[in-house]
Structure 1
């Protein structure tokens, strides 16, 4: 497997625009662990190996989250591993990532709003959309785990 192109070098301005969104998500109201769970779940759905590798390692660095990483794709079956707030964010992540399937149904919106304010809801949407954009850039560029190592 080979890297198609390094989008950061090919178009630094585009990379900077994405980095600005990423910086916003890191500084937003979204809890850092929840943010990493969002990144992992969207990356699973999108099939982005590069982002899965990166964000699994990032989450592991935040503490003991191995079970949560291993079972994230079946989060509904392991409610004891995820808080109700995380579960609401994960459901929203799935809906937004698969937006063409049924959009964001009203019951999902209402569940998320039980745990997040309107402003926090927007922060979740920005986090979800940012990782979806990163996934699409990484997959389209041919990124894979370890592709930038010498």
Structure 2
């Protein structure tokens, strides 16, 4: 795959990076933030973001078994704890808005595991990675690209 274009306005890139950093900082769990970003990137078929966030997840000590089974997290038994499952369910609901909304039960389950501030930041983490995915997929930026 070759990129359609590698141009990206530096103001947009800087704003997206700042938004991502603020969301992750406020969420406060770098390993789980990487898992939800990877899951959203799987759903959005973004090879560039998958490649990048898998590497970052490893740096944060995310177990390889979680990375291997992330696409089937609902069927992975005790590989993911209840908090991680709640975050992943919310990430999927925010990413795939097929019903036009996030189901109440998904949101309420996440709210059991995250206080209001962390929940807001988790939603922001997912929202930002969805934006990045769309920027990369629409321009066909390949995995590992240094020009984007």
Could you tell me which residue of structure 2 aligns to residue 42 of structure 1? 40
Give the TM-score taking structure 1 as reference length: 0.91
Consecutive unaligned residues in structure 2, runs of 5 or more? none
1:21 to 16, 19, 22: 19
Task: Find runs of 4+ consecutive structure 1 residues off by over 6 angstroms.
Answer: none
- 1:47-95, Cα deviation, whole Å (9 max, x unpaired): 0011111111111122252111111011011131112111000000000
Compared with structure 1, are the counterparts of its residues 23 and 64 closer, same or farther at alpha carbon in structure 2 (3 Å cutoff)? closer
Contact 1:28 1:123 in 2 (8 A): yes
Aligned residues: 147
CA distance in 2, matches of 1:62, 1:121: 21
Question: Greater relative contact order (Cα 8 A, min sep 6): structure 1 or 2?
Answer: 2
